[in-house]
Each structure stands twice: as structure tokens, then as C-alpha cells.
Amino acid sequence: MKVIIAEKPSVARDIAKVLKITAKKKGHIEGRGCAVTWAFGHLVTLQEPSEYDPALKRWALNTLPFVPEEFQLKLISNRGVSEQFETIKSLCEQATEIICATDAGREGELIFRYILALSGCEDKPIRRLWLNSLTPEAILRAFKDLKDGHDYDPLYDAARCRSESDWIVGLNSTRYYTVRHGRIGGGGDRVLWTIGRVQTPVLAMIVQRDDAIDQFTTQPFWELRTKYRDVVFKYSGKRSENPKRAQTLLEKVAGQEFEIAGVAAKKKKEQPPQLFDLTSLQRDLNKLHGLSAADTLAATQNLYEAKLVTYPRTDSRYLSQDMKPRVPEVLEKIKAFWPQPVAPLNLKKLPFTKRIVDDKKVTDHHAIMPTGMKPNNIGGHERLVYEAITRQFIAAFHPVCLKNITTVDGLSNKVKFQAKGTQVLEPGWTALFPKKAKKKDEGDSQDLPEFTKGERGPHEPFLREGKTKPPKHFSENSLLGAMEAAGKLVDDDTLREALKERGIGTPATRAAIIETLLRRNYIRREKKQLRCTDMGRCLIALIQDPLLKSPEMTGEWEEKLKQIERNELAADDFMQGIGGYIRTMIRNSADQRLDHRRWGDCPLCGQEVIRGKRAFGCSAWKEGCQYVLEPEYKGLALSNLQIRTLLQQHILPHPLNVEDEPRIFVLSTQGVPMDLRLPSAERQSNEKQR
């Protein structure tokens, strides 16, 4: 008997229907010499430390780090899991061949192999069903092209390494920081500081961005502009931060004639958009409709299971050569229920450019595309996601958008000005997308009249006053982009180049990472923004090991997991590196005690802080540093230990002695960070949550 294991009951039913297997049994469908059964996503997980050794149930520093010599598995303790696993195990024991039909990716492979291992059937013959779509045609095609299951051993090795490395880093770091820094009261209660191999660097990125915004000092500036024939021209030089200099420049051109020094027109082609991978789809839906990454993934997964789109968890934006014959068929089907956008295309001569088809840039799965099936009775998030995927797919084959960019140079008393205008000559693919209302700054792209070189006339110069703006808070759109391109955040040029293709997490896990940080109250949503909470900022301040919150290290690990998938790196070598890292991290962190011989470093200039008669201040006060830390704030007296903790663990993002009362962190008598700027009722509410 052949046993087919799917990841979910709905997928198992689809497979059974296509294969005409109809006899429904408890936990499986049987017929024609086959049994189709299913998991509920993950059924099997890694054992807890106490299951290796009961003494490890108690969290203590002297038991860390704990790295099992060999990881053991157990069933997830969810309703119905044990019963379904027994069904699968019984079928596998009877099987002459087992077919893996879980999702075709790293996590799907892990789900299948863990079930196989716990059921004791790893030595059975296995084959792999690799599905990009759940349409009947795709399922039949995949069954005709079954692979030897062991061809995917490297994929399983990468999945297992990801699972075990997350366990090692997450468990040991969480226990270490919770035991050492988590006590919050005399009763022995603790703050649970949860730390992850991927989530902590993502949190660090958000904290760093929020601190940069908090510490940003707005600077005024003045720009010289002039209006000539109802067109605003901008001064071609740099804007001025000195109002007197700007005024001098204004006076130089006031009352002088304005002359058109040159008119240049250039045609610009805007290429059609590329197809979506999961991350670009999530970013687009967040930007346009405010959908979270998790909601977009869930909606796309539902569309996949409804056979309306192809496999969602892909990191490729390209199709492979073998997909070319299927594209016109899909577009023909879409034309039947959405004719207008498809009508301009010649389906017999589609432009398969390198931006669409490139075998070298397709890894496990091609880009997300519609299957051509008519979407009946879908709404909400699914409707938004389906329309975005389908519109992007159609637009990829439309002509380029052709624009005319006109640049007009002006001159007044030798002071140079410039204005730009854009005219759409042929909308091409852009006709498929609704027009976006843009806030245009005066002097940017405008509708321009006809100008002639050498023409002269009066003009109306003026100064526009503005202010520099801080960086923007992360949205899910921008955070997903930062996670995808983590290497670009690295300062070192050589390392940044090496990391430019690496990211934090994978397309399949990034949404879950964001949701985990939200659930643990390390970040919060404010409309479309993601901001760190006091808890999140304090956790990053407590973590002294820079690698644990480093995007470049996490990016390197992700790249090594990809190397394991490609069979270019041994899994054991990777895991030895993880074990060595966690041992070094805990050893070094344990050595980083507070230095009771000094108070700490100045948050402004980094020089040593010294104690004065009334307060603590920077030792570089003679050089002009004005940092002062009062030992009492609104009736709260800080102990010597608290002051050393604040200064040595860098919990203060900026000075306390500023007039606009910035965000101020101190340690309470129990060691919990508090934001003293909050009203007392809100602070009490926060403390209850902690």
C-alpha cells in the first residue's frame, strides 16, 4: 500500500479527489491501493529540557548552556493530535512506499520528516510530491513527476538546523536573561525575557529606528524659489540653514529679470512590474491597504488552497522556462471573467523578457501567479490579495509606460533655477493601476507650458521655510524590506557587499516574527506604524552581546541554511557553530558584571560620568558637555546601583536634563524599567501587564 501524507485535511481531500480515492476512513481516505492521510500543520516538535533531565525544569544559571547531544521529538499537545498521529503511524508501518505531499518547502519537509522519525518509519521508501499549485492539472502533473524523497535530504537538513538552532539560541538566551535580569518583586515573580535567533535582531532594528527619531533634532532651512509664468522654479544650489544667507540670495534676484537658459526633453521608459514573491506581495498590500504581513500570508494561503493562486511561500519573482506554454492558457481563462485588462495582449506573442522568465532566479518555487480558475464568492482580504496578484501578472506582459521628462533651466542675475515637468505619452501597463493621489511639493514635477530658450520676463522670488525631518517609524512594508535586505544596514563596506543578498528570516517566517514581537509586547502597532514598547527597548538595552541582536550575523546564518539546502555545507558544521556561539555568549555575558569602581559613560559624548556635590555629570564638562543626571526625579530617589545600571547598560537613550521632558527610563526598586514621562495610571497599567 502507498501512503500519501498531506499537510492539511483540505489538501488531502483535493489529492484524493484527483486520484479518485473515495473510501473515507477515520483520519484518512482509502482506495486503489493507496491511503491519503494528513497532519494539522506541525504534529511533532522538539522535546523540552526537562524531558531530557527532570533537574532542568528549574531555571538556573549553572545549568546553562544546555545543548542536547541528540535532539528528541515529541507530539504537540493539541487536541486531536495524538489520535491523528496514531492513524498516520499505523498507515506508515503498513506502507510499501510513503509519499510526502506536505507543502513544498523547508517547513513542509520538516513536518513530514519529523512525523516519519517519531513513527519509526525513516527506513521506508519515500518519494516527494512537489506542488506549485493545487489545481487538478497541477496535482496530476506532479504525480507523474514524483522524485526520490532522499533527493530532498539537504532541504530537510536545513529545516532541521533551523529548528534546532532556534531552540538552542532561543531557549538558552531566554533562560539566561530571565534568570539574571527578570526578577520584579519580593514574591519571586519574574519578567519572562523571550529572545530569538531572528526576532531579537528585528526588535533591535525597530528600537534603533525609534531611538534615532527620539534623538533627532529638527533644523530649520530656507529654500529660494521663484514663480515665472505660473511655474515654480527651485534654486539649483543647496538650501541654506542660515536665514541671512538665504535673504541675501533672495535680494540678489529681487527686481531682476528671469531668463530661460535652456529647455531639455527626454523620453523615459518605465518597465512593467515584476511578478510577486511573498515579501513583495506583503509589502504592496500593507502599503496600499494596510494589511499586516500575517493577514496577507493567511489570505494568500487560503487562495492557494482554493486553487486560485500558486504556492505562496516563495522568494522568487520569476518564472521558469517550462512555465511559458502555460501562461497564455492562464491569461485566456482570466480573460473570460476579467476581459478588459487582458484584451490588449496578443496571447500568441507575449513578451517573455528576462524580467519575467529566468531559470537561474527560480529556486524551489516560481513567482506567485493566478491559476486561471474563476474566483467565486471570495471577499475581504482574499479579494484584495487575489486582485493584486492577478493585476500584477497581467501587467507584467503589458507595454512599457512612456513618459516625456522636461527640464527647464532658468537664470536671474547669475543665480540658477530649475523646474521639471512630466507628461505621459503612452500609459502602457500603468493603465491597469488606479491613479494615486500624490502630494506634490511646489517646484517638483509640474504641468509646464511651452518655454523658449532666451525668453525673459518678470518673476516673483520668495523663500520657502522648512524643517528637516527625522527618519520614519517602521511600517510593516518598510520593516519587511529591511528584513529582506538586512545586509544594507551594515556599516562595514566589505561585509555589506557580502551580505547584500542575505536577509533576516525567510518569506515564510517574517510575518510570524512580527506577530511574535507584537504578542510579547515588545512592539506595538500605531495605525500603520510599528514602534517599540518600553519592554522591547529595555530588552535590547539588557542584551550586551552585539551578535545576539545583529542583523548581519542572522543574515549569515540564513545564508548558511541556504548553503545546506544546496548541499554546499554540512549540517553538523553549522550546528557546531551554533553550539559554540551560545556557549561563548553565555560565558561573555556572565563576565559582564556592573563595574562598581565607576559610574558609567555619558550618553551624549561617551566620556566617563563623575559624581558631584549635587548630581552626576560628564567628566568632559570643561570641553562643553552639559550632561547632568539628577539622583532624584519627581520624588523618586535613585540608588547607586540603579544609577550604575542606567549608565553602564546604556538604558538612557538621551539625557534627563532637557526642558521638553524626553522619554526617561529608570529602574524601579525591583529592577523593572519605567517610563517616568507616562501618567501614573498608564504606568500602573503597564506594570500590571509586565
Which is nearest to 102 in space by CA: 49, 159, 26?
Answer: 159
Helix axes of 106-118 and 81-94: crossing angle, nearest 10 degrees: 80
152 catalytically annotated: no
Which is nearest to 674 in space by CA: 638, 626, 629?
Answer: 638
115 touches 43 (CB < 8 A): yes
Helix (H) or strand (E) holding 611: strand 609-611
Amino acid present at 644: R
Name residues whose C-beta falls within 8 Å of residue 308's C-beta, 6 or more positions apart in sequence.
370, 371, 373, 375, 378, 386
Q: List, in sequence order, every residue forming a beta bridge with 3; answer none if it has no partner.
A: 35, 98
Distance from C-alpha of 76 to C-alpha of 85, rounded to nearest angstrom: 10
Hey, what's the cell of 204? 533591535
CA-to-CA separations, 94 to 2, 3, 124, 608, in angstroms, rounded: 9, 9, 10, 72
DSSP assigned state of 678 = S
Categorise residue 239: left if φ over 0, alpha if ψ from -120 to 50, beta otherwise: beta
DSSP assigned state of 56 = G
Helix (H) or strand (E) holding 249: helix 243-253
HEC profile of 151-192: HHHHHHHHHHHHHHHHHHHHHHHHHHHHHHHCECCCCCCECC
In this structure, the number of other CB atoms found within 10 A of the CB of residue 440 comes to: 9
Per the residue annotation, which of 177, 235, 311, 522 is the catalytic one? 311
What sign has the CA pseudo-torsion 557, 559, 565, 569?
negative
Which is nearest to 650 in space by CA: 587, 611, 599, 616?
Answer: 599
Distance from C-alpha of 616 to C-alpha of 612, rounded to nearest angstrom: 6
| Catalytic (active-site) positions | 311
